[in-house]
């Protein structure tokens, strides 16, 4: 056991290390499935986080004292950063020295703090916290039990069960329980069916991803039914038909473009769908005032084209009182059409593409790790939903652990 001391440091620099780790960690969590980052960008961002964590480690007790002071301040990102510092200080230890306050916070702190601790522990559970997490996982508090189970499932612990949490009525614990059950391979069809009808869209998204992860046989049929309802159709289900990528659903997506309550989701779904047969429609929609921006993004997601937008008009158009100015750049339809004339001969009409890379029907594409993070996730879940023989990948893990 190495004793920590108080080496000579500049305390304001230690605080700056913590503030940067706080900011960068929150930014990483917000962008883990963004269309703007790929795995290399995620890795570079995580290297910056690691550099600030190293600075806090070198500060020894100055760093751990600061982390303990910020742990329960009520902010998710601060709790995340503080847990990373305290967990690294206890790395390799058999008894809790610096992580005892972490477990205490898991048991008593406000939800944002619990959420930050959960996110941090996903990337490394100190030995002393393992038994404590298992104890918490069987507790009566759904929020704290779900947080502990999420961490244990994330690291694929084989001795944890989700129990009845997948039947919770609280959105937060239910979302975590669905993800954990999918990771552990214990998700029940009845639990998915109920979650797909939940009133919270976040729960429905979690249920769709979990169902795809375990290869739920009737997922596409359920999505078609939910998206095709005459009243109150579910845009999330429609978007998911794009992710699943069944060519038979193209007609349904085209019909949804004509419905004001589904049009934007349908255009976005075409991007995930990836079929070049939809590109003429996207080029046409790029001239539409309401759908032009999502149509341009969908075209770029299929083809990999980056030169999709023009410049904002000057002077800017007047905005009606009470409305916000549109910050999106206007699409460049002629530029997109010219780009497609160059690409069309090289992209087969009966195939699916993401960012210009052809997608095999039953295997990860060679360019899988080069895809933007949202497309990478959707390609993976499409294959899992089809029952393809792809490995169990953790797409929210640190980038260096994800690379194949």
- Note the pLDDT tens digit of each residue in 40-68: 999 999 999 999 999 999 999 999 999 99
Query: Over 70: is that where the pLDDT of 316 sits?
Result: no
Helix (H, G, I), strand (E, B) or coil at 140: coil
Domain spans in the chain, listed from the N-terminal domain onward: 8-151, 234-310+328-404
Query: Over 70: is that where the pLDDT of 322 sits?
Result: no
Q: Are 373 and 32 in contact (CB under 8 A)?
A: yes
Q: What is the DSSP-derived secondary structure letter of residue 372?
A: B
Query: Over 80: is that where the pLDDT of 323 sits?
Result: no
Query: Over 60: is that where the pLDDT of 404 sits?
Result: no
Query: Over 90: is that where the pLDDT of 31 sits?
Result: yes
* Of 161-165, 173-177, 244-248, the least confident: 161-165
Instruction: Tell me how far apart the alpha carbons of residues 60 and 82 are, in angstroms, rounded to a whole number.
Output: 13
Handedness of CA 67, 70, 72, 78 (dihedral sign): negative
Q: pLDDT tens across 126-156, in order?
A: 776 788 899 999 988 999 999 999 999 999 9
Average pLDDT over residues 23-27: 96
The token pair at 316 is 């800017």
Comparing CA positions, the residue from 271, 212, 263, 256 lying closest to residue 395 is 212
**Measured between alpha carbons, how far apart are the two ends of the chain, in Å?**
35
Q: Taking CA 35 as the corner, what is the angle to CA 31 and CA 37, rounded to the nearest 5 degrees?
A: 60
Share of the chain above pLDDT 70, in %: 94
- Which of the four pLDDT bands, split at 50, 70 and 90, describes residue 318? low
pLDDT of residue 321: 61
The token pair at 313 is 């008009």
Sequence-ordered list of residues with C-beta below 8 angstroms from that of 109, at least 6 positions apart, any chain:
71, 72, 79, 117
Helix (H, G, I), strand (E, B) or coil at 376: helix
Instruction: Tell me how far apart the alpha carbons of residues 334 and 336 are, in angstroms, rounded to a whole number.
Output: 5
pLDDT of residue 89: 87
The token pair at 351 is 């195939």
Query: Over 90: is that where the pLDDT of 324 sits?
Result: no
Sequence-ordered list of residues with C-beta below 8 angstroms from that of 288, at least 6 positions apart, any chain:
295
Instruction: Tell me how far apart the alpha carbons of residues 381 and 383 are, in angstroms, rounded to a whole number.
Output: 5
Handedness of CA 224, 230, 233, 239 (dihedral sign): positive
Query: Over 70: is that where the pLDDT of 230 sits?
Result: yes
Q: Taking CA 113 as the corner, what is the angle to CA 1 and CA 179, rounded to the nearest 5 degrees?
A: 95
- 3-state SS, 8-64, equals CCCHHHHHHHHHHHHHHHHHHHHCCCCCCCEHHHHHHHHHHHHHHHHHHHHCCHHHH
- The DSSP code sequence of 98-118 is SSHHHHHHHHHS-HHHHHHHH
Q: pLDDT tens across 74-124, in order?
A: 999 999 999 999 998 877 665 678 888 999 999 999 999 999 999 999 998
Mean pLDDT over all residues of the chain?
91
Q: Are 57 and 89 in contact (CB under 8 A)?
A: yes
Average pLDDT over residues 6-23: 95
């Amino acid at each position: 056991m190495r004793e920590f001391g108080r080496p000579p440091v500049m305390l304001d620099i230690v605080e700056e290390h913590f503030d940067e780790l706080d900011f960068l960690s929150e930014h990483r969590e917000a962008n883990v499935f963004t269309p703007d980052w790929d795995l290399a960008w995620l890795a570079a961002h995580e290297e910056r986080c690691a550099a600030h964590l190293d600075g806090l480690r070198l500060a020894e007790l100055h760093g751990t004292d600061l982390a303990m002071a910020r742990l329960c301040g009520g902010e998710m990102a601060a709790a995340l950063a503080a847990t990373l510092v305290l967990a690294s200080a206890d790395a390799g230890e058999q008894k809790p020295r610096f992580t005892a306050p972490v477990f205490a916070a898991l048991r008593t702190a406000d939800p944002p703090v619990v959420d930050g601790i959960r996110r941090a522990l996903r990337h490394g559970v100190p030995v002393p916290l393992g038994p404590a997490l298992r104890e918490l996982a069987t507790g009566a508090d759904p929020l704290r039990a779900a947080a502990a189970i999420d961490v244990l499932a994330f690291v694929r612990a084989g001795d944890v069960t989700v129990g009845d949490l997948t039947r919770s009525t609280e959105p937060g614990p239910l979302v975590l329980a669905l993800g954990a059950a999918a990771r552990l391979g214990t998700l029940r069809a009845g639990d998915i069916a109920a979650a797909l009808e939940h009133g919270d869209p976040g729960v429905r998204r979690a249920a769709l991803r979990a169902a795809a992860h375990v290869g739920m046989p009737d997922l596409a049929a359920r999505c078609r039914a939910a998206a095709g309802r005459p009243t109150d159709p579910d845009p999330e289900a429609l978007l998911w038909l794009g992710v699943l990528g069944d060519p038979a659903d193209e007609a349904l997506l085209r019909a949804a473009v004509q419905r004001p309550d589904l049009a934007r989701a349908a255009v976005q779904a075409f991007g995930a769908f990836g079929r070049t047969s939809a590109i003429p429609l996207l080029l046409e929609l790029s001239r539409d005032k309401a759908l032009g921006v999502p149509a341009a993004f969908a075209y770029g997601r299929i083809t990999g084209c980056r030169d999709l937008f023009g410049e904002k008009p000057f002077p800017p158009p007047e905005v009606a009182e009470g409305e916000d100015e549109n910050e999106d750049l206007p699409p460049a339809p002629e530029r997109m059409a010219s780009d497609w004339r160059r690409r069309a001969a090289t992209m087969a009409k009966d195939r699916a593409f993401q960012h210009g890379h052809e997608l095999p029907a039953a295997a990860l594409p060679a360019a899988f790790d080069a895809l933007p993070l949202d497309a990478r996730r959707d390609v993976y879940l499409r294959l899992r939903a089809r029952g393809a023989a792809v490995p169990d990948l953790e797409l929210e893990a640190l980038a260096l652990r994800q690379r194949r």
